[in-house]
Structure 1
C-alpha cells in the first residue's frame, strides 16, 4: 500500500503552559552518558475512536509538558564538563503533526508504517533537534495512530511509555496531573557504571547506519513459544529455579532462526552473538517516576553450530545465563560479554524487548491500543524489537518488527520461523 494515502498537516510546535520552570538538566549519570543520540519510534494503533484525536492529544501533550518540561528542551554540550557531558536546557517545544489516512486501520501493513511518524533529518539526532516528535493519524474507520519519535539520550523505552501514559491520563481527564510524579534527574541514587562498560556500549551503538536490511513484520506463533517454554521447564534446565519466560523463548527462536538463515557460508566454529537491552530500574533502585535512561546491554557469544544446530531450549538456557549475569555489569570488575572470539557485526543479533514497559497500557480515552510496534528505516546493527501484546494479548503469538537480515536472507528467515513452528522441538 502506498504511503501517499496519508496526508499530513504542517507541523506545529507544542509548548507547555507559561510560567513553568525551565531548569537545566545535566546528564551526568552513567546511563545517560552511555546513550547514543539515535532515534526511536513507537507506534500505538487504536481501533476505537475518541473525539477529535489529534486536537485532544495535542492539548494533552501541552498539559503534560508542564510536568515533563525537559521533554520540550534541546541538548547542549556542558561547558563545565569534560567534553563528553550533555545537558537539556530550555523548553522550545515538541513538533506535532496531525494526519489523516484514506484507509482503515486494518489495512495498515509494514510499508505504510513509516508514513505514520515524523522523522529526524538524519539517522543520529543533532543537539539542536527536538527531543521528541509526535504524529497523530486518523483513519477512515475511526481508529487512530499515535507515533512518538524521540532521541534516545532523552529517555529509554520505559521512560517514554511513562510520558505517553501521562498524556493519556490528561487526554481522558482522569486527573489534573499525572498519577506518577515524574523525575528526570536521579543522579544521587543511580550507581556509576564501570567506565569500560559506558565506553563499550557507546562504541557498539555508534556504528555507521546501514540501510541494507529488510523491514520484516512477523509473529512468533504462540504454539511455538509454548512448546519451547514447556520443554525448557520439563528438562529441568537451570535447576527449575524459574519457569522459562516468554522473552527467553522468543529470543531463543529468533537467534536460532536468524543464525540458520543469515549466517551462512561460514564454519560451525564461527562466533555468533546475541545482545539485548536490559531495563535495570528495579535492580539499581531507581526512584519511582524516574524517566531518564536506565538500561544496559548484555551479550552472549557462542558458535554458529551450537546456535543453529543445537536444541532451541539449550539456546534459551544460554540467554537465561546471560540474564543472570546482568548484575555483574554494574560493578567495576564486571565484564560485558562472555569470553571468546568476537562475532562480526552481521553475525550479531540485537534484541530490544518492549514487553512490560507500559506502552500497552496507554489509554487516550478509547481504551488500550490494539497494537504497539516499532518502526525504523535504518539500523546500527541487525536488530529486532519484541513488541508488547495488543489488547487481545498474545493469543496468536508475539509480534516482532525487525531490521535484522539483508533482503537476500529475508525469505529464508521467514521460512525458518515457519519450519520451527511446524516441527516438534
Structure 2
C-alpha cells in the first residue's frame, strides 16, 4: 500500500524563534567528535515529526510550555546540544559547549489531526512540512549553527505536533531517541533522565598510527562513467506500508530456512532489489546496499547512555543484473556475508580509514542505505499526552544526495493494523515502475 501527500492546506501562525538555554550553568569546553561522527556522510540535518492526539487527562496543560521547560532542563545534562560545531585542521569536528542554546518555535495551526490522517495516512511526505518545521534562515549549517531546531504546533483538535531537526554529526537515530525520551521524562516530572548521557567519543577514534587492515567497499571511490547517479530532476516521494499480510507474502517467496528472517531487514533487502529494477541501471553497474550495523549491540565497549554515531555501513556488493535476475535469497546471502565482516578489527580499520582518506562520504554511485528505526523507540516518547500516533522521519528526502537513504519506520494504520512504513524518493518514471512491480508482487 502506498501513499503520497494530498493537497491539504492550512494556516500556521508562528511566534518568533527563540533560543532555549540550559536552566543551570554548564561547562564551557571543547568536546571532540569521534572519527565516525565527523565523516562527510553525516554532515546533514535530519527532520523528525511526532503527532500527538488530545488527552483529556492533560486538560489545562499547554504542550508548548511543558516541552519548552523540559528541553531547558534536559540541556543541563545534554549540554553539548546547546553548543556549536566547529571545524579544525584536517576537517576534524569539535563541539564548543557555549551554552548558546537550541532553536525553539511555538506555533498554532488551524487543522486537526484527523485531517492529517485523511490526507497522508500519517506517512511521509506530510503536507505543509515547511510550516510544521520552519527553516529559520541561516540555521541549517553543520558548522557554527544551532544543533537542534524544535517546533511545537498546537492543533485545533487539542492535539499537537512535535517536530525536530538535528545535526547528524552529533548523534544518530538511537542517540536522538535517547535524548527525546530524556526530554519526555523531564516533561513528566523527573529530576534527571533515567539514562544519563555519556560522551566518550574517543572510543571511536582512530589508532595512532592509523592502519586500514580491511576492505571497505562502502567507501570505494567510484566514478559515474555510466551517468547512473540519480538525477534530481522530476523527483517524487512515496511511502509504502507493509503490514503482516504483505510481509508474509514476501516471506513465502523465500526458502524455508529464511521464513523467520527479521521483517525490517527483509524489507530493506526487498526494497533494494525492487528499487534497482525500477531504476533500470546498466546490467554491469555495481550496486551496493549499505547495511547499518549498530555497534552498541554488536560489541560491549560502548557504555549505556552513549549518544554519538555508533554504526558501521558494510556494503553488500553485486551488479544490477545479478541482483535483479536472482531471487531474493541471493540478496539476503550477500547482506548476511557483508554484516558478518563487521568485527572489532573491521570497525577500527573503518575508523582509521576516516583519518587516512580525509573523512570521506560513503560511495554514492549505485548505493542505497536503509536505516531500521523499528527498535529505536521514537514512538515511545511521551511528554505526558501518551505515545505519539506517528513518530519518525518527516521525509524520505534526507542526506547530502537525496534519494540514497531511506528508513523502516514502525507505523499503525487507523484500523489498528501495525506494520512498517518505507518512504522513498525517486525519479517519477522509476517510482511508477516500482509501484507497478510492487503491486504485481504483492497482488494488492
TM-score by length of 2: 0.80
- Return closer, same or farther for 1:413/1:96 CA change in 2, 3 Å cut-off: same
- Return closer, same or farther for 1:248/1:360 CA change in 2, 3 Å cut-off: same
Deviations 1:195-215 (A, max 9, x none): 7689975989xx999575322
1:68 aligns with 2:78: yes
RMSD over aligned Cα atoms:
3.4
The residue matched to 1:181 in structure 2 has which SS?
Answer: coil
1:362 aligns with 2:377: no
- Return closer, same or farther for 1:398/1:126 CA change in 2, 3 Å cut-off: closer
Contact persistence 1:119–1:149 (CA under 8 A): no
1:24 aligns with 2:39: no
> More displaced, 297-306 or 51-60?
297-306
The residue matched to 1:372 in structure 2 has which SS?
Answer: strand
Contact persistence 2:104–2:149 (CA under 8 A): yes
What displacement does 1:389 show?
A: 3.7
CA–CA distance in 2 between the matches of 1:198 and 1:276? 12
- Return closer, same or farther for 1:344/1:295 CA change in 2, 3 Å cut-off: closer
CA–CA distance in 2 between the matches of 1:253 and 1:199? 21
- Counterpart for residue 12 of structure 2: 6
- Return 5+ residue gaps in structure 2 as ranges: 1-6, 223-228, 354-361
The residue matched to 2:106 in structure 1 has which SS?
Answer: strand
What displacement does 1:344 show?
A: 9.0
What displacement does 1:393 show?
A: 11
The residue matched to 1:225 in structure 2 has which SS?
Answer: helix
Contact persistence 1:24–1:89 (CA under 8 A): yes
- Return closer, same or farther for 1:352/1:115 CA change in 2, 3 Å cut-off: farther
- Counterpart for residue 244 of structure 1: 261
- Return closer, same or farther for 1:202/1:64 CA change in 2, 3 Å cut-off: farther
1:418 aligns with 2:423: no
- Counterpart for residue 110 of structure 2: 102
- Counterpart for residue 339 of structure 1: none
The residue matched to 2:249 in structure 1 has which SS?
Answer: helix
Contact persistence 1:3–1:115 (CA under 8 A): no
The residue matched to 1:30 in structure 2 has which SS?
Answer: coil
What displacement does 1:123 show?
A: 10
Contact persistence 2:20–2:101 (CA under 8 A): yes
Q: 86, 92, 95: which one pairs with 2:94?
A: 86
Deviations 1:162-202 (A, max 9, x none): 110000001111x2111111112342x44648676899759
Larger RCO, structures 1/2 (Cα 8 Å, 6+ apart): 2
CA–CA distance in 2 between the matches of 1:72 and 1:198? 35
CA–CA distance in 2 between the matches of 1:199 and 1:119? 35
- Counterpart for residue 37 of structure 1: 43
Contact persistence 1:251–1:316 (CA under 8 A): no
CA–CA distance in 2 between the matches of 1:203 and 1:378? 22
CA–CA distance in 2 between the matches of 1:371 and 1:99? 19
Paired positions, count: 402
Q: 385, 395, 399: which one pairs with 2:417?
A: 395
- Return closer, same or farther for 1:208/1:2 CA change in 2, 3 Å cut-off: same
- Return closer, same or farther for 1:422/1:391 CA change in 2, 3 Å cut-off: closer
Contact persistence 2:206–2:351 (CA under 8 A): no
The residue matched to 1:321 in structure 2 has which SS?
Answer: helix
The residue matched to 1:289 in structure 2 has which SS?
Answer: coil
- Return closer, same or farther for 1:73/1:393 CA change in 2, 3 Å cut-off: farther
CA–CA distance in 2 between the matches of 1:350 and 1:123? 27
The residue matched to 1:21 in structure 2 has which SS?
Answer: coil
- Counterpart for residue 352 of structure 1: 371
CA–CA distance in 2 between the matches of 1:179 and 1:94? 22
Contact persistence 2:199–2:308 (CA under 8 A): yes
